[in-house]
Structure 1
Amino acid sequence: MQTAEIRRRWLDFFERKGHTVVPSASLVSDDPSLMFTVAGMVPFVPYLSGLVPAPYPRATSVQKCIRTNDIEEVGKTPRHGTFFQMCGNFSFGDYFKEGAIQFAWELLTTSEADGGLGFDAADLWVTVYEDDDEAIALWKQHSTLPEERIQRLGKDTNYWSTGQPGPAGPCSEIFFDRGPEYGIDGGPATDDDRYVEIWNLVFMQYQVADVKSKTDFTILGELPKKNIDTGLGLERVAFLKQGVDNMYEIDEVRPVLDRAAELAGKTYGADHTDDVRLRVIADHVRSGLMLIADGVTPSNEGRGYILRRLLRRVILSMRLLGVDGPTFEALFPVSRDAMKGSYPAVERDFDFISRAAYTEEKTFLRTLASGIEILDGAIDAAKSGTRAVTGDTAFLLHDTKGFPIELTLEIAEEAGVTVDEGVFKTLMQEQRERAKADAKAKKGQRADLSIYKELRGQGETLFTGYDELTHESRVLGIVVDGKPVPAASEGQVAEVVLAETSLWAESGGQDADQGLIVGDGFEAEVLDVQKPVPGLIVHTVRVEVGTIAVDARAETRVDADYRRGATQAHSGTHIVHAALRQVLGSNAHQAGSYNKAGYLRLDFTHGEALSTETKSEIEEISNLAIRSDYEVVTREMPIDEAKALGAMALFGEKYGDRVRVVDIGGPWSRELCAGTHVTSSAEVGMINLVSESSVGSTNRRIESLVGLEAFRSFAAERAIVHELSAGLRTPRGELVQRVQDLGAQLKAAEKKIAQLEAAKLAERVPELLAGAETLGSVRAVLGSLGTVGSADDVRGLVLQLRDRLADEAGVVVLAGDAGGKPVVIAATTAGARDAGVRAGDLAKLGAQVLGGGGGGKPDLAQGGGADVSKIDDALAEIRRSIGA
């Protein structure tokens, strides 16, 4: 049974049972505490927790998920994957344990011919929480399971909670027995790979507090509404139904594995180590495909860093299989074809997806080449010394170049040296501990959203600001320092929730409105407006006059000038986006934006910097659209109708069933957008592109001033030009050439000065040679040059002196003050290196004394620091080291 067919049967079954079919949410989670959607229940958390009223009594979904906490286990076990699909059925105060158990047993054991999954009841086991007698009785009543195949287990495996105060409850897990050839008898309690967990039924029935750990908490009592949250692993069911040994061999993953094996000239199943690498490749290519399809692009932070790590693990695994060149152009189309049946977007957007992946591969292959240069240098040093690459170097390669230790070990072994794994492991452990401490600190800083539960339960906050700047409403709640209070008085900062508001909450790239909330006897300045939970708008205010209380009448007043500027910037963002696509082509997608009064920032997919001519063209097209005074029309309609009209749905954005469509000049610019906008393009005023830069290997960023701020910038530049023209006594039209001429003159003068300084230093060669001293078995020239132009000047003199000592065991170490920073450079002849003296060691030693770092090759090395007063001390330490 194909994976897509299992998916279809799941949704059809639960739809027949009265569940609303909910499409998969994005892999990019709405939950600020989560980087990705890590479980099928994540999009439903506001409903399961009661924070937001559920829009339906029961629901079902097949949710895309990403987890990387077990990334090192990928390929080694039959079930660990970074991307997976979780089938779920959910009840929000509707059916409970009995319904969940009945549905699960019916779907699993109904024959394939009758629309079920066709599992043999004799292969199924169930675990329940040790005290949950009710669940055991229900399993006996609604299944054919004998009592010995219903096992009681403890809190560590069969009790679910978020790890925070809130809803929790026992769970019941369903396992498939793969047979004695896969392990020992005894059921899931043995924790053996023979028994594969396929479905977890969570009975969310208690409220817990004082949560100290997964198993240590206090049950306060039963929830007023009991919920059901279940999760069935689609890939796990697929590999069982397809008769293969693991998830990497199912129809949606195996084609990539086979193509990778073909590229590497390997036979899957012939070698365990190669098999693990092939599985990693197959899993990570699919994960990369799906992440990019949801708008994530490679970068050095956050979600982009996780994607980058996955893609680089593919490249490194292919290298360890013997393939050094690019492979993504062969692998990604195979994954696309395997996944498009379930997710058509991977085919529709493949041009964008492939460019992001291929660019990342090209970039990392260059990074690998530079890393190998570092490793080659470390291997050379190891061969002439301890015969081991230092753990520091191995960690540096891992941390900055993405080298896994396995690659470093393999290359070192081929060269006949070892790696100090002990130091490497110590540094890795220290890094993990720092990361854990950082994560713990961030977790502790997260707000407790439960304080908004009662407020959200009173209904959604109505935003009236599309049509008005002032609106009278009622205060529903006030929060101070994370706690609900009846009132906030003068001088206090508080969060205020109103029934309706004309103030825009930050979202969709548009910054929050500025303004006031006023009422009988009070006035509060609005500092921020946010949506901490879906449907609830919260105003952070400073009470300037009087006391604001719950149930008071209050009027929201938007700062009209700020709103005007914000709408100019937001409409300006749409205009620049349309201009970008007109100039660069339809492959230039918006990948993020931010706008506020007078300013816009637009990230877009493009692999190279824009030329000056291209930027000017984009700016001109944008301003021509403004001059054309296009009508700006906003309409609300079903999302399918909007897409049929050609409205752009932007990567990374999330949309409901009904959306707002913003047209600028009809189809010239047509996007889905909930923000506030001008009524005609002329109201934007002016676009002034002030910056274009890189924000990743596949993304660029344009920044622009808008409206009055754009004019002010042009006026400031005009003033600068006027001042330069007057100061240089040069007409405005000749100013550029005049500045270029002055620059050329300055460069020539600097070159002449450098030549004179180098010649002056060269005159010191006889003097320095005359001061050479014998240290141990080498002839050494050590000296301080005082103030020098640059490190290059010192290096040139060092090399001249080394050439004069070439026929003997010679060492040269010179130091100087280069612009207030100490520099030390060491060089050795072949004879000195044979005697065991290495330039890299000397430079590193001197740099340590100088309060900095350094190193290099055995023949030439450089160090630096922060304290020029320690130059003599550094040379003295080097002298002692050579003579030791």
Structure 2
Amino acid sequence: MQTADIQRRWLDFFGQRGHTVVPSASLIADDPTVMFTIAGMVPFIPYLTGVVPAPYPRATSVQKCIRTNDIEEVGKTTRHGTFFQMNGNFSFGDYFKEGAITYAWELLTTPESDGGLGFAEKDLWVTVYEDDDEARQLWKKIAGLPDERIQSMGKEDNYWSTGQPGPAGPCSEIYFDRGPAYGPEGGPAVDDTRYIEIWNLVFMQYAIEDVRSKTEFRIVGELPNKNIDTGMGMERVAFLKQGVENMYEIDQVRPVLDAAAALSGRRYGANPDDDVRMRVIADHVRSSLMLMTDGVAPGNEGRGYILRRLMRRSIRAMRLLGVDAPSFDTLFAASRDAMSAAYPEVAQNYDRVSRLALGEEDAFLRTLVAGTSILDVAVADTKTGGGSVLAGDTAFQLHDTFGFPIDLTLEMAEEAGLSVDREAFDRLMAEQRSRAKADAKSKKAVLADVSVYGAFRSLGETRFLGYDELEAETRVVGIIVDGVSVDRATVGQLAEVILAETTLYAESGGQDADEGTIVGEGFELEVLDVQRPIAGLVSHRVEVRTGEVSVGSSARTVVDGDYRRAATQAHSATHVIHAALRQTLGHDAHQSGSYNKAGYMRLDFSWNQALSPDTRSEIEEISNIAVRDNLEVETRVMGLDEAKSLGAMALFGEKYGDRVRVVDIGGPWSRELCAGTHVSRSAEIGMISLVSESSVGSTNRRVEALVGLDAFREFATERALVQQLTAQLKTPRDSLVDRIAELSQQLKTAEKRIAQFEAQKLSERVPALVQSAESVGAVQLVAADLGAVGSADDVRSLAQSVRERLAGSAAVIALAGHAGGKATVIVATTPTARDAGARAGELAKRASAVLGGGGGGKDDLAQGGGPKLELVGDALAAVREALQG
């Protein structure tokens, strides 16, 4: 019996018995916090838990599922697969235990010729929860099973709950006896290899509280509506009905296994290790095919990373089978042909899936060559050094530079008898993710050519709903990739997304764009920037994190609430500081520009001289008094002329329409035209700390401030610094300035004395250096490493002093020293030496090359150097060799 036939029989059976046939949901879970659909009941959870009223009393489905938590067991057991199908029938307050048991027994034991699955009654066993006498009696009544084939199990095996307070209930599981060749007698309680579980019936009848573990909770009563949730494992039933040994040999999986065997020239069944590899390939290729069909693309995070891991494990397994050449073209085609009967969309989407698969394989095969050589060297070095743990930074380099998933490095290291420093690897990965996110946010991508937006703008304006809501349902109107309008964007791509409505604020009026996400059925987009490329249209610059987004898709905009709150505080603080400036300096201090984002604001204003410290303090104090007074913040939309008549200030150079938004803080105290987001009362700003004031032109100044929590953190940092200084200097806070000035003067005096002392010590070396002169070629050479020196000037002074002593001879002086982690070489020549052909610039250049740096200068005096302190002797030797030549 083919797997597609089992699927058809299942849906027909329950459909004929009043169940609504529900198509399989996507493998990409609706819940953005969950990567995949991991169980057949997941799409029905809202109905089973009563959160949402069920739209039908009973339903049935064959649900696609992905689980990778047991990925290491794939290929090693008869029943572990990353992709599987769960056949389910569900009752929402309709039939209960008797109905569920009746349907299960009828479908399982009805002959195949009559539409059933044709299992022999004698081969079926069941388990029930140890306290569920009702279920035991029903099995005896409906199926006629004897007591010995109805085994009682505890909560660990036969009780279901979500792990949270809410619905729960006992389970009853149906097992098939594979016969004595597979294990001892005694039923599933004795051996679950011989007795294979094929169907689980969950009787959701109780409400539980005080949940402490899977087996520790308190039953508080029966549910008003009792539900049924069942799941029959499609792959398990298939391998039993097809008479094969395991799920990897069924009709939907075996063709890939056979293709891997043919490509490798190895026979399945001949070698246990090869068998495991072939089963891994068969499972992972099918899982990858189904994931990509549902819109997942290979990537470095989330769902994309799981998919990439499956594909790369497949490639790795093929290499262990001796196949280094590309194989996905053959393997994926075999899986397509095997799965299309049950899922026609696999064939319909195969061109796209194939391109993704072949591209991923090509890229990874190239990286394997380079990465494997790096890993082999690292493994050899680790073993040579007597170590047993591969360094975490090596694993990170393999991941970051060569695209090796960490699990692949773990596998290859284990094969070599080593473990990996996973803690160090995880730390480096966390640091990289933090840097990457900060970098992505800091780079404002260039928007597409303005002409591309015309078609979208003709459909209407983008409605901004973000003044009142942080989330809103909307629709994808357009997608732009690399400046071109397209119908979809996939995982890893950067794109611009145009929506019918949005809650995400577009950068304008000095306020930076919101942070947040755009999520929809099967996709999640990280918002990198939001802009208004043309009037009335908002473009969201995004990275597709998971899935595939297409034009016409329903979507939900989700603003990062913490970021919006902090950005709102900063924008309101900008208005407050502007009002404080004008109150302090007069109306000539007019805003000429601003920028604000979460926790930070800057404001440019017309003024032609620096603000005194007292003036800065006054502005800061007025601003914080306004915050303390909790002034009302009111926003109104009115005509432009009316707004101007009320004294609302407009930003110079800004364009305004006929209708404008006026923001008042404390009534007329601060009244400006502004489309930004603001607090509702000034106390919500929190705190304003004026951190700098500077010039941005001959007639403009700039003030910068930290706002809210960022301002508090700045004060806390400064307070901690003052406390450290008072403790270390043993000086009261009020005397710190004088004490630091005193110490600074003492330090300058000491440094001057030290410099004099060092210069004197160096000058005392002149006679010895003159005596060290040796004949090299046609000149006398003085070459010496002075060691640590105060500065390059000290070396130069000493070289010149030695040259003065040797002025009457053909002499070359080459002195080296190091300061600040860098070596310095000074070469000085006398006139007679220069007549003999010695050139200081050329000699300094040769020495510097040895030190890993550069140098040069005039014929009489030149300087060079480099970072390689350990090669100073070699650098001086290079001068000697040049003179000998």
Q: TM-score, normalised by structure 1?
A: 0.54
SS of alignment partner, residue 90 of structure 2: strand
CA–CA distance in structure 2, aligned partners of residues 434 and 195 of structure 1: 46
Q: Give the match for residue 550 of structure 1.
A: none
SS of alignment partner, residue 231 of structure 1: strand
Structure 2 CA distance for partners of 1:142 and 1:826, relative to 1, 3 Å: farther
Q: Give the match for residue 306 of structure 2.
A: 306
Counterpart mapping for 1:11-22 below 5 A? 11-22=11-22
CA–CA distance in structure 1, aligned partners of residues 782 and 411 of structure 2: 51
Counterpart mapping for 1:62-77 below 5 A? 62-77=62-77
> Does 1:579 find its partner at 2:584?
no
Q: Give the match for residue 51 of structure 1.
A: 51
Preserved CA contact (<8 Å) 2:37 2:64:
yes
Preserved CA contact (<8 Å) 2:379 2:390:
no
Structure 2 CA distance for partners of 1:429 and 1:15, relative to 1, 3 Å: farther
Q: Give the match for residue 407 of structure 1.
A: 412
SS of alignment partner, residue 36 of structure 1: coil
> Does 1:272 find its partner at 2:272?
yes
Counterpart mapping for 1:622-641 below 5 A? none
Structure 2 CA distance for partners of 1:352 and 1:828, relative to 1, 3 Å: farther
SS of alignment partner, residue 358 of structure 1: helix
Unaligned stretches of 5+ residues in structure 1:
413-418, 437-509, 516-524, 532-565, 605-621, 630-650, 655-668, 677-710, 714-722, 724-764, 773-780, 803-813, 818-822, 830-884
> Does 1:528 find its partner at 2:470?
yes
Aligned-pair distance for 1:429? 7.8
CA–CA distance in structure 2, aligned partners of residues 314 and 581 of structure 1: 31
Deviation readout 1:647-678 (Å, 9 max, x if unpaired): xxxx9589xxxxxxxxxxxxxx98465899xx
CA–CA distance in structure 1, aligned partners of residues 324 and 79 of structure 2: 29
CA–CA distance in structure 1, aligned partners of residues 821 and 319 of structure 2: 49
Preserved CA contact (<8 Å) 2:847 2:865:
no
Q: Give the match for residue 600 of structure 2.
A: none
Counterpart mapping for 1:27-106 below 5 A? 27-106=27-106
Counterpart mapping for 1:558-569 below 5 A? none
Structure 2 CA distance for partners of 1:788 and 1:121, relative to 1, 3 Å: farther
Q: Which amino acid aligns with 1:571?
A: V
Q: Give the match for residue 192 of structure 2.
A: 192
Preserved CA contact (<8 Å) 2:58 2:92:
yes
CA–CA distance in structure 2, aligned partners of residues 146 and 227 of structure 1: 27
Aligned-pair distance for 1:48? 0.4
CA–CA distance in structure 2, aligned partners of residues 275 and 235 of structure 1: 19
SS of alignment partner, residue 579 of structure 1: strand
Q: Give the match for residue 364 of structure 2.
A: 364
CA–CA distance in structure 1, aligned partners of residues 83 and 424 of structure 2: 28
CA–CA distance in structure 2, aligned partners of residues 788 and 290 of structure 1: 61
Aligned-pair distance for 1:162? 0.6
Q: Give the match for residue 261 of structure 2.
A: 261
Deviation readout 1:55-95 (Å, 9 max, x if unpaired): 10000000000000111110000000000000000000000
SS of alignment partner, residue 316 of structure 1: helix
Preserved CA contact (<8 Å) 1:38 1:66:
yes
Preserved CA contact (<8 Å) 1:236 1:247:
yes
Aligned-pair distance for 1:385? 4.1
> Does 1:153 find its partner at 2:59?
no
Q: Which amino acid aligns with 1:210?
A: D
> Does 1:514 find its partner at 2:460?
no
Q: Which deviates the most, 221-230 or 382-391?
A: 382-391
Q: Give the match for residue 131 of structure 2.
A: 131
Aligned-pair distance for 1:156? 0.3
Aligned-pair distance for 1:139? 0.4
CA–CA distance in structure 2, aligned partners of residues 78 and 816 of structure 1: 64
Aligned-pair distance for 1:99? 0.2
Aligned-pair distance for 1:136? 0.4
SS of alignment partner, residue 485 of structure 2: helix
> Does 1:182 find its partner at 2:182?
yes
Deviation readout 1:513-533 (Å, 9 max, x if unpaired): 536xxxxxxxxx6242358xx
Counterpart mapping for 1:205-354 below 5 A? 205-354=205-354
Q: Which amino acid aligns with 2:105?
A: W
Q: Give the match for residue 557 of structure 1.
A: none
Counterpart mapping for 1:779-798 below 5 A? 786=821
Q: Which amino acid aligns with 2:486?
A: L
CA–CA distance in structure 1, aligned partners of residues 371 and 148 of structure 2: 57
Structure 2 CA distance for partners of 1:675 and 1:169, relative to 1, 3 Å: closer
Deviation readout 1:783-829 (Å, 9 max, x if unpaired): 6674589xxxx999899479xxxxxxxxxxx9977xxxxx9999999
SS of alignment partner, residue 189 of structure 1: coil
CA–CA distance in structure 1, aligned partners of residues 369 and 845 of structure 2: 26
CA–CA distance in structure 1, aligned partners of residues 283 and 269 of structure 2: 17
Aligned-pair distance for 1:345? 1.2
Aligned-pair distance for 1:712? 9.1
Aligned-pair distance for 1:571? 3.4
Unaligned stretches of 5+ residues in structure 2:
431-460, 508-512, 521-532, 538-545, 558-652, 656-695, 697-780, 789-815, 825-843, 853-863, 875-885
Structure 2 CA distance for partners of 1:245 and 1:572, relative to 1, 3 Å: closer
CA–CA distance in structure 1, aligned partners of residues 141 and 367 of structure 2: 62
CA–CA distance in structure 2, aligned partners of residues 602 and 158 of structure 1: 40
Counterpart mapping for 1:99-114 below 5 A? 99-114=99-114
Structure 2 CA distance for partners of 1:786 and 1:397, relative to 1, 3 Å: closer
Preserved CA contact (<8 Å) 1:594 1:602:
no
SS of alignment partner, residue 367 of structure 2: helix
CA–CA distance in structure 1, aligned partners of residues 231 and 218 of structure 2: 25
Q: Give the match for residue 699 of structure 1.
A: none
Preserved CA contact (<8 Å) 1:593 1:602:
no
Structure 2 CA distance for partners of 1:329 and 1:602, relative to 1, 3 Å: farther
Deviation readout 1:729-763 (Å, 9 max, x if unpaired): xxxxxxxxxxxxxxxxxxxxxxxxxxxxxxxxxxx
CA–CA distance in structure 2, aligned partners of residues 232 and 795 of structure 1: 80
SS of alignment partner, residue 372 of structure 1: helix
Preserved CA contact (<8 Å) 1:394 1:408:
no
Percent of aligned positions that are identical = 57
Preserved CA contact (<8 Å) 1:280 1:314:
yes
Preserved CA contact (<8 Å) 1:111 1:118:
yes
Aligned-pair distance for 1:27? 0.3
Aligned-pair distance for 1:378? 2.1
CA–CA distance in structure 1, aligned partners of residues 4 and 782 of structure 2: 82
CA–CA distance in structure 1, aligned partners of residues 331 and 25 of structure 2: 26
Q: Give the match for residue 468 of structure 1.
A: none
CA–CA distance in structure 2, aligned partners of residues 153 and 275 of structure 1: 35
SS of alignment partner, residue 176 of structure 1: strand
Deviation readout 1:627-650 (Å, 9 max, x if unpaired): 9x9xxxxxxxxxxxxxxxxxxxxx
Aligned-pair distance for 1:202? 0.3
Aligned-pair distance for 1:390? 3.7
Q: Give the match for residue 687 of structure 1.
A: none
Structure 2 CA distance for partners of 1:384 and 1:23, relative to 1, 3 Å: closer
Aligned-pair distance for 1:144? 2.8
Deviation readout 1:185-205 (Å, 9 max, x if unpaired): 111112431111100000001
Preserved CA contact (<8 Å) 2:54 2:92:
yes
CA–CA distance in structure 2, aligned partners of residues 264 and 138 of structure 1: 53
Aligned-pair distance for 1:170? 0.3
Decide which structure has the larger Cα Rg and report it: 2
CA–CA distance in structure 1, aligned partners of residues 124 and 29 of structure 2: 33
Preserved CA contact (<8 Å) 1:352 1:587:
no
Aligned-pair distance for 1:158? 0.2
